[in-house]
Amino acid sequence: MLIRKFQEADVHAAGQMAYDTWSYELNGVGHDLNRFIHEYMVRYYDTNRQYSFSLVDQSLNAFLLAGFKTDQAGCNKWFENTLSRFLPEEKEVALEYRDYLSRNGSAVKKYMKDGDIMMNLFMSKGGGTGRRLLTSFEALCRKNAVENIFLWADVTCNYSYYEKNGFEILERFANRTPVDIGCLDTYIFKKRLN
């Protein structure tokens, strides 16, 4: 398996991984909208390719998207153009989902200093693949004198994984969701590197 920088060619497969993992959360939403939202999540978090990785063999097995506090996604035009094909009630769900991502990201950024980095989205399909990406990511951060890694995860994620890998919980709060699945707890994590 090869670890390399995350590429544009990985976006669709990463969106499919996100869909395969979390589509159940949007159970009452049509397939096209559900798939759009999960690809948007990848595009939204694809903010800094220098610090983002893919692990591939025949296909994408894992990816880690990261960025600094001031890095911005370049997907607003894609979001607006693609969203235009959906019905008004579907657009509302997508806009609420975008707000959910933004709210959680803003909650993390209030802890970050310039030069700190956030793991935006991290997924793996196979045992040990995520660990390999995390090790590569942390090595790059240390090499470039990044002191702290931050992230957020809600209870639909394997958030205990981060505790096992040296992250500490800074905050836990209830967070309204974009669809009718109730309220999810969000965890904000930090790992000091240097």
**Alpha carbon distance, N-terminus to C-terminus of the chain:** 29
The predicted structure's pLDDT at residue 159: 81
Q: Is 2 helix (H, G, I), strand (E, B) or coil?
A: strand
pLDDT along the chain (194 residues), means of 10: 94 96 86 96 97 94 96 92 95 91 94 96 89 95 97 86 94 76 82 91
Q: Look-up: residue for tokens 């999960």?
A: 38
Other Cβ atoms within 10 Å of 77 Cβ, number: 8
The predicted structure's pLDDT at residue 181: 56
The predicted structure's pLDDT at residue 182: 59
The enclosing domain of 32 has a CATH number of: 3.40.630.30
Query: pLDDT digits over 51-70, tens only?
Result: 999 999 889 999 999 999 99
- CA 43 to CA 164: how far, in whole Å? 28
Count: domains in the chain: 1
- CA 153 to CA 158: how far, in whole Å? 8
Which structural domain, as residue segments, surrounds residue 73? 2-192
The predicted structure's pLDDT at residue 179: 60
- CA 39 to CA 2: how far, in whole Å? 23
